[in-house]
Amino acid sequence: MSVSEMFAALQGALGQDQDIREEIRKVVQALEQTAREILTLLQGVHQGPGFQHIPKKCQKAREHFGTVRTQMESLKTKFPADQYYRFHEHWRFVLQRLVFLAAFVVYLEAETLVTREAVAEILGIEADRERGFHLDIEDYLSGVLTLASELARLAVNSVTAGDYSRPLRISTFINELDSGFRLLNLKNDSLRKRYDGLKYDVKKIEEVVYDLSIRGLNKEAAAGAGGEK
């Protein structure tokens, strides 16, 4: 084979790779748009009247996740099944965002931490790496850390809306989350940096709870925590 023939073959391989990446980008762009729509919908819970419509907003968000599952099915067809990590960087960010959104919906519904398996089911992908397109553990953990930041914000806005029991429940949840992360030996630099930010979320929520206490609202908050969520 001549040098020109060798490089022509290499160009063909490069062209095929570029075509795959372009097809992936198109689907990822659609996923990003759906994620923005879900985020916009859920941001309404931070406003005073939004607390009264949490179930309706969560139901609507789950309908949007139906679109996510369809888009994920399309994404799976755009690259060879055994080359997940070769192209992973293309959808890593949007997948982490979708994990956060799914976790936020589940928290708003039940005030519990969604499992990786449950998130995978919501997104229409696998939890088990061996079964194909899956939810990487680090992507799941990154999404959960984003949830922590969102709940710190929700704790502040809950007080503004006159809901004094929610910050107490959020504080308990975030402290349990922090304890869970402390059990992990995180070596991924990006994930480690994001985990380092969790202590600021814990501190922010603690300040909210402390403020409720010094204002004499802690008793009302505790009574509310024992009633309806």
What kind of fold does domain 136-219 have according to CATH?
Methane Monooxygenase Hydroxylase; Chain G, domain 1 (1.20.58)
Show binding-site residues.
Answer: 150
What pTM, to 2 d.p., does this model score? 0.89
Q: What was the pLDDT predicted at 229?
A: 43
Beta bridge partners of 126: 134
Residue range(s) of every CATH 1.20.58.200 domain in the chain: 136-219
Distance between CA atoms of residues 229 and 222, nearest Å:
11
Q: Mean pLDDT in each 10-residue stretch from start to end of the chain (229 residues)? A: 80 82 96 98 85 90 98 95 92 98 97 97 95 94 96 93 90 96 85 90 94 75 51
Tell me the one-letter amino acid at 70: T
Distance between CA atoms of residues 84 and 195, nearest Å:
25
What kind of fold does domain 1-131 have according to CATH?
Methane Monooxygenase Hydroxylase; Chain G, domain 1 (1.20.58)
Show binding-site residues for Mg(2+).
Answer: 150
Distance between CA atoms of residues 185 and 182, nearest Å:
8
Residue range(s) of every CATH 1.20.58.190 domain in the chain: 1-131
Environment class of 53 (CB within 10 Å of its CB; exposed 0-12, middle 13-18, buried 19+): middle
- The angle formed by the CA atoms of residues 27, 106 and 162, to the nearest 5 degrees, is 120
Q: How many CB atoms lie within 10 A of CB 84?
A: 16
Q: What was the pLDDT predicted at 220?
A: 60
The DSSP letter of residue 134 is B
| Alpha helices, DSSP H, located in the chain | 3-42, 54-76, 84-110, 116-123, 137-160, 166-182, 189-196, 198-214, 218-225
Tell me the one-letter amino acid at 41: L
